[in-house]
Amino acid sequence: MGFPTTRMRRLRRTETLRRMVRETRLTVDNLVMPLFVRPGTNEQRPITSMPGQYQWSVDRLVEEVKTLEGLGVPAVLLFGIPDAKDEFGSAAYRPDAIVCRAVEAIKSNCPDICVITDVCLCEYTSHGHCGVVRENRDGVADVENDATLELLAKEACCHAAAGADMVAPSDMMDGRVGAIRQALDGNGHEEAAIMAYSAKFASAFYGPFREAAESAPQFGDRRSYQMDPPNQREALREMALDLEEGADILMVKPALPYLDILQAASERFDVPLAAYHVSGEFAMVKAAAAQGWLDERRTALEILTAIRRAGARLIMTYWAKDAAGWLA
């Protein structure tokens, strides 16, 4: 029945009523905090394009993780900045790699927090691309897919050996989930889970991250391996392939411009979904809030709730620490 018998505003009248009938609930359990770890001691180096975010030395990183754990944040996602880079990103897959040292330190001090590690080579290669670069048949430098798989698998095994609960390949090479699963299982790491960056688009929203991870490509771009933004069906196919290869969690990245992908995936796949609310999305709100144009807290929680509503069980967000306090 229509107005005046039906009045939709009746259940919006008070905060208690709104809370009682709320359809989507965002909790601290949905949040994962990305963190950047670098060599050194007592380092907390600001990331200028991402206010409030830092590159941490391992000792200071542990302090930050203790704070996050105290706020109820269940997981962190680690990115490493090495002391040296080379053509093959060899600092990524050494047993003493910066991420491995960070995992060991976190697990020694906060054994219950879930430690997820980014598995990629872009932070570690001198050219800034996500794999082994060779000339293709046209004489153009490009990432060699199959040669990269072995290195990614080695990196994932190093992280798992250090104690990582979950590895998160973000490179977008074909077949990398299967290669990593096979390597993990073959080296006694059957319990290590894989959260695949399955639908990772070649987005303009990654700019601040490249400062944070010191991973800007030295030539060209990443459009030959990251996804073309207009494609939805291809994204779902990528996700299906990663699931077949052994992924435990499927991720969409970035989040806000691709909520349609996330929603479609939630209807198709019966596995946990993740979404990465990326650096550019975060920095936009920070910049607007600094000008007084937006209320940062209300805007951030609205964004995170929208991502949750679209189907994400896990949300990688630089607001994880603040949001944990706001939600409490």
8 A C-beta contact, residue 91 and residue 124: yes
Could you state, in order of their start, the residue ranges of all structural domains in the chain?
A: 23-327
Stretches where the chain sits below pLDDT 50 are none
Torsion sign (Cα): 323, 104, 60, 214: negative
What's the pTM value of the predicted model, to 2 decimals? 0.96
Q: What pLDDT is attached to residue 220?
A: 79
Taking the alpha carbons of 22, 32, 229, 271 in that order, is the dihedral positive or negative?
A: negative
Burial tier of 45 (Cβ tally within 10 Å: 0-12, 13-18, 19+): middle
Radius of gyration of the chain (CA): 20
Helix 176-186 with 233-245: angle, nearest 10 deg: 20
| Whole-Å CA distances, 64 to 56, 178, 208 | 9, 33, 21
Structure tokens belonging to residue 125: 């290669």
**CA-angle at 158, arms to 153 and 160, nearest 5°:** 95
* pLDDT value at residue 286: 98
CA distance 86 to 105: 26
Residues in contact with 135: Cβ distance below 8 Å, sequence separation at least 6, in sequence order: 141, 142
Which residues are annotated as catalytic?
Answer: 200, 253
pLDDT of residue 278: 97
- Which residues are CB-neighbours of 139 under 8 A, at least 6 positions away? none
Biggest distance spanned by C-alpha atoms of the chain: 72
Q: Tell me what pLDDT residue 214 has.
A: 87
- Joined tokens for residue 37: 């770890």
Considering the segment(s) 23-327 as one domain, its CATH architecture is Alpha-Beta Barrel (3.20)
